Chains A and B, each alone.
Chain A
């Protein structure tokens, strides 16, 4: 950060001279925190109507992916206790 948390925030130490590794870690941190997305988006102005459409789309996408992942993990469980036990 320019003046706030200088060399504390968004900083990664290089271990054993592995600069590539450190850069990958930094990139991963930044993508997880949404910094890289924000920078790419703010390169050109995004009109408010487009912004609303995008947020809506991302919400729907997030819900869809979570439900799909839930469904897949549910279906892929094979060892279940017998629901009809005792009938």
Chain B
């Protein structure tokens, strides 16, 4: 439901749903270009897109795909996946470090169901820090999860490593259905001092 105009090369596809400079809840979308000159063209394209969006949302409201944002855990949502509400679905924690990728599937309560990583798949040392290893870990985790009867899962990613995207892809390839992706990368507000800078 992203309305892309073909006459603009401007990147931000979220413009139809979110106006240019409004802070919308947890997401504050700053305009991608801080330049004043380009901001003019950006905002006019936003206005044009909003007009076309207003005209096409009436036709595109068929399925429930008009929201990128997750259902808030108040009483409102009528979305169910396999009969379960959003907050009752199992969670797949993907910890993508720079040397390895761990995948752990837990219930919504927190109880662990399945735990795989690149190391448990038989990769060693440098081969663990590859996206392919993460994909195989994802496939095996999905296989074990479907054996336990899990269909829909929400993914929580932690860390910026090589296996960040391919682990999620592996989960989908293994048969699980990913319904939402969360990023839980720890960003300290200047807490612990990290190690010293490398000089290569």
Shortest B104–chain A CB gap in Å is 15
A10-52 CB mask vs B (1 if < 8 Å, else 0) is: 1111111101101101101110110110111011111100000
Size class of the contact patch on chain B: 35 or more
CA distance A8 to B73 in the complex (A): 9
The contact of B180 among A14, A20, A71, A73, by CB within 8 Å, is A14
CA distance A74 to B69 in the complex (A): 38
Question: Which chain B residues border A73 with CB–CB below 8 Å?
Answer: 37-38, 40-41
B186 in contact with A2 (CB, 8 Å): yes
- CB of A54 within 8 Å of the partner chain: no
A9 in contact with B26 (CB, 8 Å): yes
In chain B, positions 1-31 with a C-beta closer than 8 Å to chain A are 1, 11-14, 25-30
Given A23-B168, A28-B14: A13 and B37 interface contact (C-beta under 8 Å): no
B159-200 CB mask vs A (1 if < 8 Å, else 0) is: 010000100110010000111111111111000011111100
B27 in contact with A40 (CB, 8 Å): no
Question: Which chain A residues border B196 with CB–CB below 8 Å?
Answer: 44-45
- CB of A60 within 8 Å of the partner chain: no
A26 in contact with B37 (CB, 8 Å): no
Instruction: Pick from A1, A5, A30 the residue with the most CB of B within 10 Å.
Output: A1
- CB of B33 within 8 Å of the partner chain: yes
- The 7 nearest A-B residue pairs measured at CB: A69-B35, A69-B37, A66-B35, A70-B37, A9-B26, A73-B37, A15-B65
Please report A residues at the B interface, Cβ cutoff 8 Å. Answer: 1-2, 5, 7-17, 19-20, 22-23, 25-26, 28-30, 32-33, 35-36, 38-40, 42-47, 62, 65-66, 68-74
Instruction: Apart from A7-B73, A42-B187, list 11 A-B contacts with CB within 8 A.
Output: A13-B67, A22-B68, A22-B180, A26-B181, A39-B160, A40-B160, A45-B194, A45-B195, A66-B34, A70-B35, A73-B40
